[in-house]
A = this chain, B = another copy of it.
């Protein structure tokens, strides 16, 4: 996506004295036209009439969601922000604004404006103004981004219906390949690294999929199979995924692509989407990978038409 300016940012409230507020002033200077109306006890937003408010909060913690040896600070800021915006995409919501809660250790204070630059890039790309936040000192670098959006009919996880097909955007497996390379002490290739460091929230794709009859949607940040399990649970249905149809980056197996965490692509269900037209209009990959069936709730991975063992999703609480 090209960088776009937020329309009509509101002036910020004048801040009082103090080191914390000097730091906030530095961040606001970096955010420029991407921030709007910051500085009161809370931010004020207008939800379009007849639309519902959609809100999601997402935390990125040093050592859990990223390692500082892997990413530049601007990438840490970008990625944390994109992760939250991706949850708005999963609801087919249009961004209204975001608030940024930043825990900044002393060792990272020099990098605050680099973090801010990454946050700004993600905000700007999704045309989502930064409307407020909270900044605190602490021992561990951490960002909690709360993204607010709106939609007439938000896309839930719970609307999948037997007979629907399952679609996924983009090519999977890049972030997982990058993490495997880092964990093995190697440098990931540039494409895999970019897939990890610079995920793109699929907001335009989500709006287009919703308008084409999507019945359920989720972003697959826990991995395709793990997140489809949530759709199956929420919708009370069974999902069959054809392993050989899972779209993937070069050098990654279909099973790796099926379980790769840290993806920010979308999986949606819909009765019938014209994939070719979608790809032409949106300029991005969309692949039909399976179907919703009646039967016991869950996700089944199939190869050559037969069920195979399901790889587990990505779970921070299993890792630690």
Contacts and interface: CB of A to CB of B under 8 A. Distances in A.
Majority DSSP secondary structure for residues of A touching B: mixed
B99 A229 contact: no
A254 interface: no
Range class of the A interface residue count: 35 or more
Given A61-B137, A103-B142, A140-B140, 15 more contacts: A13-B157, A13-B158, A14-B233, A16-B313, A20-B317, A40-B234, A41-B157, A42-B87, A43-B54, A45-B52, A45-B53, A57-B101, A57-B146, A137-B319, A144-B146
Contacts of A41: 56, 87, 90-91, 157, 217-219
B233 A57 contact: no
Interface string A37-57: 001111111110100111111
Contacts of A138: 61, 63-64, 140, 142
A156 B40 CA distance: 7
Contacts of A97: 55
A283 interface: no
A40 B137 contact: no
Interface stretch (A67-75, A126-134, A180-188): A126-134
A42 B18 CA distance: 35
A19 interface: yes
26 contacts: A14-B233, A14-B236, A16-B227, A17-B229, A19-B315, A19-B318, A40-B91, A40-B157, A40-B158, A41-B218, A42-B147, A44-B54, A47-B47, A47-B53, A55-B97, A55-B132, A58-B134, A59-B134, A64-B137, A101-B144, A103-B142, A134-B144, A137-B316, A137-B317, A142-B142, A146-B146
